[in-house]
Amino acid sequence: MSVLKQRASELGVSIRIVPPLDPRQLEDQPLGLHGEHQYMNAGLAVALANTWLERQGHLDRIHVKDHGTLPDQFIKGLSIACLQGRAQIVPDLQVSSECKDTSCPLVFYLDGAHSPESMEICAKWFSHVTKKDAAQPGPLEQRRSGINSKKILLFNCMSVRDPQILLPRLLDTCAQKGLCFDQALFVPNQSQYNKLGSHASPPPGREQIDLSWQLSLQTVWEDLLRGKKGLNGTSSSGASLVFESLPSAIKWLRETSQQNQSTSCQVLVTGSLHLVGDVLRLIKT
């Protein structure tokens, strides 16, 4: 902020600090983008739209209400806004189609967080929505009475990121919210082997796949679990797995869910926007 203020002074322009949007301004409509931090982004979007409309001379096209709520056009835009891979919940349709019950035993919670700050926000979101799903079943996940849930982390981050910062932030924030992971899976990105949008498969030869980075991520995770002295409710032995490819991890998750449909697998996919994109392509094809 000090840099922004200094630069604004050098340029002779004003700087305005926009407060987060007050939820009451939405007339009971939820934001299309999930997470408490999105009210800050929504406040900025409203301020930006108002500034543009004013400078273009279009304010007369917006009906401003007397009771302090936003114009209908603004409310509609904020309520239907979507961003794939950010706080996105996707049930696995392949597993749900084979399940005799109406519930989906495998649900992916996608968030491409890849910084310490976004990792903390991701952990808060995942903790909140999984608790909310359990308390108030919705159309995405109709829960049976007495059904168990299993929290699984599917993770990869680029080698330029520091897992010694990212993973503790994720684990600690979840623990503060009362959430513990039952298992962690570490995989290379599918797009590591082929161009985005390509339908080509990763190289078949096991010897061609370098998993040294994923194994180092697993080591960091296991060390964290040992340091937490069983914080996740399981021993560190067997609490994590490394897969040679993302498709093999998805296959394992599906088979695990189909074998035990009385347990709902809630899979948090995070650490890389590439990983989230790859998972979306795999589970929707």
For the domain made up of 88-136+146-191+213-284, give the CATH fold.
Protein-Tyrosine Phosphatase; Chain A (3.90.190)
How many Å apart are CA 252 and CA 178, to the nearest integer? 27
Q: Where are the domains of the chain?
A: 8-80, 88-136+146-191+213-284
How many Å apart are CA 158 and CA 192, to the nearest integer? 10
Q: What are the tens digits of pLDDT across the range 241-273?
A: 999 999 999 999 999 998 887 888 999 999 999
Q: What are the tens digits of pLDDT across the range 267-279?
A: 999 999 999 999 9
What is the DSSP code (8-state) at residue 60? G
Name the token pair of 242: 């490394």
pLDDT band at 192 (very low <50, low <70, confident <90, very high): low
Res 196: pLDDT: 42
Mean local confidence (pLDDT), 102-123: 90
What is the DSSP code (8-state) at residue 20? P
Name the token pair of 111: 């968030």
Are the CB atoms for 79 and 63 separated by under 8 Å? no
A 10 A CB-CB count for 237 gives 9
Q: Decide if pLDDT at 152 tops 90.
A: yes
Name the token pair of 171: 């684990």
